Amino acid sequence: MKLSNKNVIYLICSLLTMVLILSGCWDNKDINHRLLPVSIGVKKVDDQYLVILNIPVPIDGSMETKIVSAKAETVSKAVDTISRNMESDVDLLHVKLIFIEKETAEDGINDIIAGFMRSRDVSPKALVAICDEDLQEFFNNIKINAEKKGLSTYNYFEKNAGWNPDIALTRVWEVFRGIHSYTHDVAIPLIRSGKDTTMDQIGSAILKRGKMVEQISSNETLLYNVFKGESGNGKMEVMEHATVMLLGSKTDNIGRLVNNDAHMESLIKMRVVILETKGEPSLNLIKEEINTLISERYNKLFTKLQENEADVFGMGQFFRNQIPRDELKNWRSDYFKNMKININVKIDIQNEGYLKTT
């Protein structure tokens, strides 16, 4: 194609305009003028929110942690106050962890979660954890740990790093679902700062409709993860005669409605390997022991959940085809509370290591 002079002029003009547009420079803030917090802590003090941000700042090749806080009527206002007082702009785009203080969680976190869901910066896949000590102190300990011992908070929950099967992994969108859903509640990791480690996990908090109602242990959290289909891979169980390691697990559930009462049959299949034994127990004895241990633990957990009417396992999901939607609204109080559960555990011992077991 031959270009006339007029066309060349047009072309150059349009290309130059594109340079102006494509730079996108009107309100752009460069990366060195932004602060990207990795975790955010929220606590309710009277009618105000105390927001604490944990901001890693790279200085001379190493990471320093900056802890800043502000108090305001809403979370976003508090973040804005921090942003105003800092020399750079605070951008919540990379927040990975949200800590909420226990007392606040007991009051209900619906508004906080809704705020995070509504906001365009905080990703709905950020993790939520509940902090079982004073938030300010917790963040200060994190800072000390991070600077003196080089421990980071975020890797604690990463599946490909520090995560363990007895830590609940709950994301903002799951908490949001738990608030509105008729049949789903969530468990959230309950943590406090550790002496030698960044965090100590003490169990999980049970959230019912966005309110913390109960606390369960790490062992029980494992059951929660197993039930959710999250792998329990690598978790040890110590019993009287043997120590086994969990390799994999699967649950099959059948929900039936008999005379308007919910009945649940669940079959938990677990694959284990034997690590240590005491004395010379037979395979059957070991199986028997695991069986009792797991079913007892499950039953105890269920009783606890039923008392609180909090369905963290999403059991109601198995009754969706039997209970009409209008009645499903009251699933927690009408059905789940009096649900009969029959748990069967099936153990497969995959191998016994280099030594034989009789």
Applying CB under 8 A, which residues contact another protein? 21, 24, 26-27, 94, 117, 120-121, 123-125, 159-160, 171-173, 176-177, 179-184, 314, 317-318, 320-321, 324-325
Residue 351 has which token pair? Answer: 């191998």
CB 242 within 8 A of CB 319: no
Nearer to another protein, 159 or 356 (CB): 159
CB 281 within 8 A of CB 358: no
Q: What does the DSSP assignment read for 71-100?
A: EESSHHHHHHHHHHHSSSEE-GGG--EEEE
**Minimal distance, residue 285 CB to another protein, in Å:** 38
**Minimal distance, residue 139 CB to another protein, in Å:** 24
Nearer to another protein, 101 or 174 (CB): 174
Nearer to another protein, 41 or 178 (CB): 178
H or E stretch at 344: strand 340-351
Q: How many CB atoms lie within 10 A of CB 285?
A: 16
Report strand pairing: 242-258 vs 261-277. antiparallel
Nearer to another protein, 69 or 322 (CB): 322
**Minimal distance, residue 207 CB to another protein, in Å:** 14
Query: In whole angstroms, what is the distance from residue 44 CA to residue 309 CA?
Result: 25
**Minimal distance, residue 10 CB to another protein, in Å:** 12
Residue 91 has which token pair? Answer: 């951008």
**Minimal distance, residue 36 CB to another protein, in Å:** 12
Nearer to another protein, 163 or 283 (CB): 163
Nearer to another protein, 120 or 148 (CB): 120
Measured over the CA atoms of residue 112, residue 113, residue 114 and residue 119, the dihedral's sign is: positive
Nearer to another protein, 5 or 321 (CB): 321
**Minimal distance, residue 181 CB to another protein, in Å:** 5
Nearest residue to 99 (alpha-carbon basis) of 121, 77, 67, 57: 67
**Minimal distance, residue 244 CB to another protein, in Å:** 28
Half-sphere exposure (Cβ direction) of 228: Cα atoms closer than 13 Å: 23
CB 136 within 8 A of CB 52: yes
Query: In whole angstroms, what is the distance from residue 10 CA to residue 30 CA?
Result: 33
